[in-house]
Chain A
Amino acid sequence: MARRSYELSPALAGLLALALAACGARDPDPNLVRFWAFGREGEMVRELVPEFERRHPGVRVEVQQVPWTAAHEKLLTAHVGNATPDVAQLGNTWVPEFVALEALAPLDVRLAVSRAVARADYFAGAWDSNVVDGVTWGVPWYVDTRVLFYRTDLVAASGAPWPPRTWAEWRQAMARIKQRGGAERYAILLPVDEWDKPVLLGLQAGAALLDAEGRRGAFRDRRFRRAMVFYTDLFAAGLAPPVTSSGIANLYQQFAEGYFAMVVTGPWNLGEFRNRLPADMQQRWATAPLPAPDASAGYPGVSLAGGASLVLFRHAAEHDAAWRLVEFLSAPAQQARFYALTGDLPSRRSAWARTDLDADPRAAAFREQLGALASLPKVPESEQIVARVAEAVEQVVRGSRTLDEALAALDADVDRMLEKRRWLLEKKAGEARP
């Protein structure tokens, strides 16, 4: 019990770091590139570095691997302590935040003359997630989005038209699967504490989540409300179990058991499903792009633009070797090698052609989905906002609030989160006026 106070000491250390944030200039070594990458990517990118160093004699790359769970905090404290690397991998939902911190170097000038990084070759939605206020701050390294993973046998047995192209078809297929499965089996798994599904349904329905300029929440918008009616009704109708992600002990085992027939998840699960599902299950799962709200909305419906980008930190804006590393890692051949090492989907179409991805029917759904991506609102508060969305929707699913109450409370909370942003926008507007 007494030791508990020590467990908070990182918090104190962080406060201290902020308090002591001193400005220490460091002399950059033009031949040393300090590169931070996270988790498995950080481990695997080391395999690519020797080739870069061979092509650029004299340049040395120092790769530091940071665990994903610590990545965000570590980058922020590094920024405060003036100890950011030259190049880093950055989750693309973090880009607006680091732009607001003025931590990144704009890349447009370099991109204009770069032959190695060709914007047209990238999935447009992934590229767009790196553009804030018209300026490009990162180059997509690998991409990530959500599609539908499903049990082919359960879907076929239900006799529903497949793949569903609209919400109505999707809902109908789920109802049929549930009807055959009985009380203990569900059509779809949507862990109620996760924000990505409700948010992407809202984006599909055309909701912007925030108003223009991101000054206030726009969750009472009729389009968002429509998506939430669709989403929460899946629980009310018993098509999805009201479980949290911690209530799923083993996703793969429960998928194989038929506890649920569909799940909306990302590309890392292509490998996981192959490795973790039993052998007799291997021919019984497939993937499909997400349905759209209506036939008129175009197929597939949008999904979230995830993945990670390569960024230059501000102090490395003039660091040519650092930029050459970004170019090197962006080359289709290196992206293909990186895919072979990590299973991360390449961000460039020409890199896909160099892999076995085009021949894999399960990856085809991702390829199709990557043509229809949407980003979260590009404000630094967006992660906090979407976490709050998950809370609001969970309240509705659990019946502790009606949908309209929950959305009104959500808008009020989001407005409070954006108060500082409104103040800054007004301050900026005041300064711009003569």
Chain B
Amino acid sequence: MSAVPRESTGTPKEARAAWWLLAPALGAIVLFFALPVVAGLLLSFSDFDLYAIADPRNARFVGLGNYARLLRDPLFWKALGNTFLLVAVGGPLTLAVALGGALLVNSRLARLRGLYRTIFFAPVVTTLVAVAVVWRALYHPRFGLFNQILGLFGVPEIDWLGHPRWAMFAIVLLSVWRSFGYCLVILVAGLQAIPETLYEAARLDGASWWHQLRHVTLPLLRPTLVFAGVITTVGFFQLFAEPYVMTRGGPLNATLSIALLMYQQGFRWWNMGHAAAIAFTLFALILATSALQVGLRRREARR
């Protein structure tokens, strides 16, 4: 391999060889990614369901009917509201907790940094079903740890998972706990990329810890924060497993996320067309939000 930059286009023969070498991977992408996506899009314009599985003639082309129906479906709006709540509360909370953890892990003052890093990352790699068993016990209204601690301060019993007002909060808490470790690792990497000399210079100028954080750490960490923010936002938009194993979307659909609604429509009731429409709506939402985040970052960078 030479360090000299080469023309990106080789000889026609080389180009042909390149295509041959790429073919298996491209084939797999087309077969397992592009094709299902196109099929899904077509599905979202039909009312493909259980009856259509029996006889394809029972499927009707409904155009944008599934999307129109979604807009009229109170359940969809409920799920959408829940999902936005998850993103709006869970996203920033995850970032804040991850940032705090990252500063702690990266701090020269803290001991046992490796241990902290392991502890913070452990929830990310733990099987959710096992996590759910433990957290359900923690949330139990009568015997759970949370209520027992709150009870010491005279707070009355809270039915965490059973009451519509608290269930979403309980799911957010669990999701944040489960996902901040991943962000933390990214942020730690970002922190370590900040040259130590900048801090030395800041200290010479008499900057306090707070000033160092505001004027050195955060500005230099911004690209990493945006990246972690996008990842976290997308993750919360797609939140599925936590409500699925903890509450099945209940009580009263208080924890029904869009992804869970899609799963229920598709694989519980076999309204595939409807489910596909939900999937593409979710896709559009995530795309728009991510574009917004990255756009804001770009505009800021230009300033």
Contact = CB atoms under 8 A, between A and B. Distances in A.
Contact of A2 (B48, B58, B159, B231): B231
B143 A249 contact: yes
Interface stretch (A54-62, A239-247, A333-341, A353-361): A239-247
B92 interface: no
B252 A394 contact: yes
Nearest to A250: B143
Contacts of B50: 97, 100-101, 380
A102 B55 contact: yes
Contacts of A4: 235, 238-241
Contacts of B35: 16, 19
Interface SS of A by simple majority: helix
Contact of A15 (B234, B246, B272): B272
B162 A1 contact: no
Nearest to B57: A427
Nearest to B276: A15
A15 B162 contact: no
B136 A391 contact: no
Given A1-B232, A2-B231, A80 B53 contact: yes
Contact of B47 (A76, A380, A394, A420): A420
B267 interface: yes
Contact of A246 (B51, B136, B232, B263): B136
Given A193-B250, A249-B142, A424-B58, A15 B39 contact: yes
A243 B142 CA distance: 12
A253 to B, nearest CB: 10
Interface in B39-73: 39-40, 43, 47-51, 53-55, 58, 60
Interface in B78-113: none
Interface string A383-424: 110000001001100101000000000000000000011011
Interface string B218-254: 0000000000000110110011110000110011110
A18 interface: yes
B267 A73 contact: yes
A240 B53 CA distance: 42
Contacts of A400: 164, 252
B55 to A, nearest CB: 7
B235 A14 contact: no
Contacts of A19: 35-36, 39
Contacts of A3: 124
A421 to B, nearest CB: 8
A269 B232 CA distance: 44
B182 A2 contact: yes
Nearest to A102: B54
Contact of A79 (B47, B53, B179, B259): B53
A14 B140 CA distance: 35
A100 B54 contact: yes
B172 interface: no
Contact of B162 (A79, A247, A395): A247
Interface string A5-23: 1011001101110110000
A68 to B, nearest CB: 14
Contacts of B142: 249
Interface residues on B, range: 35 or more
B127 to A, nearest CB: 11
Contact of A76 (B60, B252, B270): B270
Contacts of B60: 423
Interface string A215-259: 000000000000000000000000000011011010000000000
Contacts of A398: 164, 251-252
A7 B141 CA distance: 29
A199 interface: no
Interface string A60-85: 00000000000001001001100000
A5 B232 CA distance: 12
A308 interface: no
A8 B238 contact: yes
A175 interface: no
A394 B246 CA distance: 18
B194 to A, nearest CB: 23
A401 B55 CA distance: 40
Interface of B: 32, 35-36, 39-40, 43, 47-51, 53-55, 58, 60, 124, 136-137, 140-143, 159, 161-162, 164, 179, 182-183, 231-232, 234-235, 238-241, 246-247, 250-253, 259, 262-263, 266-270, 272, 276
Q: Which 6 A-B residue pairs are closest in the complex by CB-CB distance?
A: A1-B235, A247-B162, A19-B39, A1-B179, A244-B162, A101-B54
14 contacts: A1-B179, A7-B241, A11-B262, A11-B267, A12-B36, A76-B53, A193-B251, A243-B162, A244-B250, A247-B140, A398-B252, A400-B252, A424-B51, A424-B58
Interface of A: 1-5, 7-8, 11-12, 14-16, 18-19, 73, 76, 79-80, 97, 100-103, 192-193, 243-244, 246-247, 249, 380-381, 383-384, 391, 394-395, 398, 400, 420-421, 423-424
Given A16-B32, A100-B51, A101-B54, 4 more contacts: A1-B124, A18-B53, A193-B251, A249-B142
